Structure 1
Amino acid sequence: MTDETKKGFWRWGFALLFVGIAAVLIKQATEETPEPSKPTFLSDLIIVTARTHARNWKVDKNTELVRMEATNSHTITVYYSLLNYDSDVSSFNLEATKSAVVNIFCDPKNFEKQSIFSLGGTYVYVFGSKNVKEIGRFEFNKKNCEGSL
């Protein structure tokens, strides 16, 4: 093999290598990225939300969000403390609270595409006070909206 033949061989080799790499990069750039699997994405979203949400956050003068927990792969539990409950037991109505919360979540203008709620996750709200560990709880998910979304 002469020097000229060797140079030609190397040129063709590099050209083919370059074309091959370019083809792979173009194919990857034009393919759509696959959607994350819904259960895994939901589970990850629940875990991240529970870990990053502020603790002991005062919602209003009577209510404090104590913490959030990722209960399982599709459920997040939110713990609230009713600050004035021990001095005025009649001031809290669990059914009225549930109705108000579900109405807020089911309002289409509050509905986000990639939220725990929209992906089929379940919320459990637990209410307690300084002296009563659990006053009441309720859970809800997208099924509670009955066609309003």
Structure 2
Amino acid sequence: MPYATADARQQLLDSIVDAGEALGAALAALTEAYEMLDENAAERLEEELFRPVQLAYARARRTQSEFAERYELPGRSFQPAMRGAPSHGVKGFLDAAVQAIGEADQSLATLQDSMLPIEVGDPELRAGLEQVRTLIGPLAGRAHAIVRNFGR
């Protein structure tokens, strides 16, 4: 494989890892928020935000690792996210999660716009990226709705 192709594929993998790490940060923030909520609010948070982010995170990891394996490239681990300070409160943790989700989505959008997935990727990779973006697309609105309902 030409050096340029290998380099482009590695760049593609690195972008997916960056997005995955942002999703990991969102999961950490959502976990912190979950622990501060009553049972009903925590269940809503889990159903509407945590599960979709968890699925997107897992899909990003799988997309990255399977692509690396198919092209015999070195895989890269997603680094665990740091836990936040409890003083942020539920709203602060949800805001942090929304920001991290936005970063992941922007990273994947930039990657897709770069044409690398078409030029050096494959259909499986493109499908994985699309699935991740589909999962995280509506989450900012859901998070804002959850924040609005606090105190009611």
TM over 0.5: no
TM-score, with structure 2 as normaliser:
0.27
Structure with the bigger percentage of helix: 2
| More contact order relative to length (CA 8 Å, sep ≥ 6) | 2
What's the TM-score, normalizing by structure 1?
0.28
> Could you say which structure has the larger radius of gyration?
1
Larger strand percent: 1
